[in-house]
Each structure stands twice: as structure tokens, then as C-alpha cells.
A = this chain, B = another copy of it.
Amino acid sequence: MTISEVSKKYGISQDTLRYYERVGVLPPVHRTKSGFRDYTEKDCEWVELAGCMRSAGLPIEALTEYVRLCQSGDETFRERRDLLLKQRQQLVSQIRIMEETMERLDYKISCYDKAVKTGKLVWY
């Protein structure tokens, strides 16, 4: 697959795909003889994973480190697990914060709903 096809398929710009490869969020992508990127099935899986993890807010640095570990063999299973576990914990606490904030937004929205109807804003 060409970079433009992969870009469309995963909703990640070509520039970003090149950037991800350059900084190591993606392992080196397969190339044609003339040097064009030619994403294999495996390359695409990495793209999909990177897109998913980035959309959840995992930092570039964590992803490059994970890719680095994956490329350095079977002695890194524990490190990889620990890395993922740490990111999971970050995610858990971020979700908790966001849920609390959402409750707060809900409360404020309900007050404004009433205010829109009555013309008077009341926090009760």
C-alpha cells in the first residue's frame, strides 16, 4: 500500500505517517526499489496501533520506546508489559478525571437549561 492509501485508510496524514516513522513510533516501513514507502500488512498493523494509542493520548515517547523494545527481542517482554501497564494507569486516572469533570459539566448544563427557560440562573 502507498502512503496515500494508508493515510486515507487510517485517517492519519502523510506527513504524520512520515513523522511517526522518523521518530520511531512506527518501525521502518517497507520500500519499493525506488525508495517509495510500500506498507505491508504488518506495517499497517503498526500504523493502526499507533493511531489508536495516540488518539487515546499516549505520548510519542512511550510509543517509540514500546516499538524499540518490540524490535529488541524476547528479553524485553517484562519491560514492554511494564510500559503498557504504566500507560494503562495513566489512562485510568485520566478517564476518572474526565468523568468527574463531566458530572460537573452536567450539573452546570442542567442549571443553564433552567436558566434559559426561567431567565434566572440558580446554583442549588
Is A104 at the interface (CB under 8 A from chain B)? yes
Bound-state CA distance A109–B120 (Å) is: 52
Copies in the complex: 2
Bound-state CA distance A56–B116 (Å) is: 26
The count of residues in chain A whose C-beta lies closer than 8 Å to any C-beta of chain B is 37
Option from B58, B85, B101, B120 in Cβ contact (under 8 Å) with A91: B101
Further 15 A-B residue pairs, CB within 8 A, beyond A53-B101, A81-B112, A81-B113? A52-B104, A56-B101, A58-B101, A77-B119, A84-B112, A85-B109, A87-B105, A88-B105, A91-B102, A91-B105, A92-B102, A94-B98, A95-B95, A95-B102, A98-B98
